Structure 1
Amino acid sequence: MRNERRASPHPAGAAHAGESGDGPGLAVSEAARLYRWYRNARAAVSYDYDQVSVPDEGEAVTLVEEGSDELDVPDHPVVPIIYGDGIGVDVGPAAQQVLEAAAHATGRDISWMRVYAGESARERYDENLPDDTVEAIRRFRVGIKGPLTTPVGAGFRSLNVALRKELDLYTNMRPTYHIEGVPSPVTDPGAMDMVNFRENTEDVYAGIEWEAGSEGAEQVRAFVEDEMGFDDTIHDGQVGIGIKPITEFGTKRLVRKAVDYALENGRDSVTLIHKGNIMKFTEGQFRDWGYEVAREEYGDEVITEDTLWEERDGEAPDGAVVVNDRIADNMLQQLLTRTDQYDVLAMPNLNGDYLSDAAGAQIGGLGIAPGANIGDGRILAEPVHGSAPKYAGQDKVNPTAMILSGRIMLEYLGWDDAADLVYDAVEHTISSGTVTYDLERQIEGGEKAATSEYADTVAAEIERLA
């Protein structure tokens, strides 16, 4: 079992239909059941899907009321799934099998709605991200996806970024914790128990850039040099130019998500990661706006690190979350040297990308690192790793990251008992030595399993634990 600070990213106060404090599966009133059916029917028919079908069984996850992010979760939801590119055809079905086993073991079910993006979408729709896919996730609110490929310099937008922007999934959440039995390059991987909150919709990932030699690049250069006075800043010759927007709106909603999570899950601190010593008016502003949220919106629930030492001699009030900040490059060192001093990190997009991957390396690599993109009342879980096309269809890759991303999705639904079963079954399977090839070659006495065999073992372990 991991420590007691277990991740639980579902919205505070979410209503989960068919559940009470006594456990899952209790019937809701007939009126509530009929209302849910009506809303599900509206979700199914209010958009005319082109090449996908809404499952005959299952119900839509819906909002308790419009304008809130509290969810009404049936015991048998419809969940869109994108297998993705490359090894998605291997890890997607493996995750489905394990998540279904956890749902069944706790008296629930999942109806999967297969939707498409990337290569599989181009084959069906002749486009990378069809409306069918975006609308399915928008309407059913809870989904999971495998890896999608974006070639470097290929001239088209990242599909991962496009999905996040289209659905306003503004928070990328990556819980980072070590699973017993997973080899790690550090001596104490168990010290890592961190949750990273990365802003998902702006920064340099906004995609506002111009290719070297283009008319747009020359126009921006002329404006910067002639109108703004930076005439000696850019070297002569061709130049590629990009813009780095950091907004008050985007920053504050990300920091709220991180602080809310810390308060709801008994975490001790939220650290704002930035490079504000150099980028003073973008990342420096991220830091300042983050502190504004802490000081102005949370009262006694939050205390800044400066106040903690100036007024309380380092003694935090009971239950309060400490908000502090660190420079991004220094934080890369502290991930290694002071791992256990950090709890929840809140970061702009680019810093979050770097730091989340670096943290993942300490707990065994991206093959086991889960993640999820979260908005207001909506989630799209996804593993951190890439598509690894050379291994596609070989039934050999590690599906743990996809499975544990599904675990975050279960927690978002409020199915903490099912999520716990997934974690415990994965940990027991790995610690007993049944692993895929990537871990087997690092573990003395490990038993190499195919992707499907590993999923079979985890699913069987769920049944045993239940």
Structure 2
Amino acid sequence: PDKVDMVIFRENTEDVYAGKELQEGTDEAKRLLEFLRDSYGWDIRPDSGLGIKPMSATGSKRLIRAAINFALENHRRNVALVHKGNIMKFTEGAFRSWGYELVREEFSGVAVSWQDCGGDPGDKLLVQDVIADAMLQQILTRPDEYDVIATSNLNGDYISDALAAQVGGIGIAPGGNINYESGHSIFEATHGTAPKYAGQDKVNPGSVILSGEMMLRRLGWDESADLVIKGLESAIAGKVVTYDFERQMEGATLVKTSEFADAMIERM
């Protein structure tokens, strides 16, 4: 886990998460099936649910641009475009192509693709692409080779949770929904609301706290963000942790959510 230091940029408005679905057996689904059969000759089973996977050049380039700018500003070594374009050529494959197109059009002076440099970028940022299922292996076996990941919505969901598991679980994984063009941002825990734990004073608050730390940095309040990191790191290093970490650490002290927050504050 000490080799895992990656930042994931996950497109958050498109892909199969766009919610463009039709339930099996509905009139709408039947009409679409008929249209696809008559217009394209697609033979899809009549008892199928249907979904649309929209991926645009606009959304993809916006996401990849943000990832590259972040990597440059934070002195990262590389950006990996993660996709399943070997199968979905006109959506995920296009994501890859749009990424390389963006590098050539907007970042040619500071970034270079793997194809154009043979893996030796010199003093430029390296932009490469990795097939999604291979990436799930790479982050387990060679995590220190990757810095920033730019990927589509569904792939980003899988990869972010897999990486979180390597550093203790989603209880410690922060997230932010950031529009780098408008400046609007929302920061939230990656694990969602977790209603089954409501009111129990039990869960790890790390994801919420670190999401707040991301917000502070976004606002330019780095000194405050540094204090948050100091308190959290010191508490975990002292093995004062909530149940999800306690079961993974020998000799740890189990504390409640509120008690972990107190332990952090004491160590700031």
Q: Same fold by TM (over 0.5)?
A: yes
Contact 2:61–2:98 (CA<8 Å) still a contact in 1?
Answer: yes
Give structure 2 stretches of 5+ with no counterpart: none
CA drift of 1:230 comes to: 1.2
* Residue-by-residue CA offset, 1:40-59 (whole Å, 9 max, x unaligned): xxxxxxxxxxxxxxxxxxxx
1:359 aligns with 2:163: yes
Q: Distance in 1 between matches of 2:16 and 2:50?
A: 11
Distance in 1 (alpha carbons) for counterparts of 2:25 and 2:57: 33
Is 1:263 matched with 2:102?
no
d(CA) in 1 for partners of 2:137 and 2:93?
A: 20
Q: 1:276 is matched by which residue type in structure 2?
A: G
Aligned mate of 2:215, from 371, 389, 409: 409
Q: Percent identity?
A: 55
Partner of 1:374: 178
Larger helix proportion, structure 1 or 2? 2
Instruction: After superposition, give the CA deviation of every residue in 1:83-103 in whole Å (9 maximum; x if it has no partner).
Output: xxxxxxxxxxxxxxxxxxxxx
Match in the other structure for 1:213: 25
Which of 292, 296, 316 matches 2:105? Answer: 296
Find the counterpart in structure 1 of residue 116 from structure 2. 307
Residue identity opposite 1:357 in structure 2: D
Deviations 1:339-374 (A, max 9, x none): 111110110111111111111111111011111110
2:14 to 175, 196, 202: 202
Compute the RMSD of aligned alpha carbons.
Answer: 1.1
Please report how far the alpha carbon of residue 315 of structure 1 lies from its aligned counterpart in structure 2 after TM superposition. Answer: 3.2
Q: 1:456 aligned to 262, 265, 268, which one?
A: 262
Aligned to 1:96: none
The answer to whether structure 1 residue 399 and structure 2 residue 205 are counterparts is yes
1:386 to partner: Cα distance: 3.4
Q: Whose Rg is larger?
A: 1
Q: CA deviation at 1:299?
A: 2.2
1:389 to partner: Cα distance: 2.3
Q: Secondary structure at the match of 2:8?
A: strand
Aligned position for 2:88: 279
Indicate the SS of the match to 1:377: coil
Q: What is the distance in 2 between the residues matched to 1:308 and 1:192?
A: 26
Partner of 1:322: 126
Distance 1:420 1:334 in 2: 30
> Aligned partners of 2:2, 2:15: CA distance in 1, in Å?
32
- Paired letter, 2:126: V
Q: Deviations over 1:381-409 (max 9, x none)?
A: 11111333232101111101110111100
Equivalent residue, structure 2, for 1:44: none
Higher RCO, 1 vs 2 (CA within 8 Å, ≥6 residues apart): 1
Offset from partner CA, 1:441-460 (integer Å, 9 cap, x none): 32222111111111111112
- Report the counterpart of residue 348 of structure 1 in structure 2: 152
Q: Distance in 2 between matches of 1:364 and 1:327?
A: 25
Aligned to 1:420, which of 192, 211, 226? 226
CA distance in 2, matches of 1:191, 1:246: 32
Q: Residue 274 of structure 1: CA displacement?
A: 0.7
> For residue 31 of structure 1, what is the aligned residue in structure 2?
none
Please show how residues 70-219 of structure 1 align to structure 2 within 5 Å. 189-219=1-31
Output aligned runs, 1:29-44, within 5 Å.
Answer: none
Counterparts of 2:140 and 2:254, CA distance in 1: 30
1:332 matched to which residue of 2?
Answer: 136
Structure 1 length-normalised TM: 0.56
In structure 2, how many angstroms separate the alpha carbons of the residues matched to 1:250 and 1:442?
39
Q: Distance in 2 between matches of 1:258 and 1:359?
A: 18
Which of 419, 425, 444 is equivalent to 2:250? 444
Distance 2:5 2:246 in 1: 24
Q: Distance in 2 between matches of 1:386 and 1:415?
A: 25
Judge conservation of contact 2:168–2:245 (CA < 8 Å) in 1: no
Q: Which amino acid aligns with 1:427?
A: E
- Counterpart of 1:355 in 2: which secondary structure? helix
Alignment of 1:223 onto 2:1: no
Instruction: State the secondary structure of the residue aligned to 1:394.
Output: coil
Mean Cα displacement is larger for which, 453-462 or 345-354? 453-462
Distance 1:388 1:415 in 2: 29
Alpha-carbon distance between aligned partners in 2 of 1:329 and 1:437, rounded to the nearest angstrom: 31
Which amino acid in the other structure matches residue 433 of structure 1?
K
Task: Report the count of equivalent residues.
Answer: 266
Of 381-390 and 264-273, more deviation after overlay is shown by 381-390
- Tell me, what secondary structure is at the counterpart of 1:277? coil
Within 2, Cα distance between the matches of 1:275 and 1:315? 25
Residue type of the alignment partner of 1:430: I
Whichever residue aligns with residue 353 of structure 1, its letter is: D
- The CA distance in 1 between the partners of 2:196 and 2:62, in whole Å, is 39
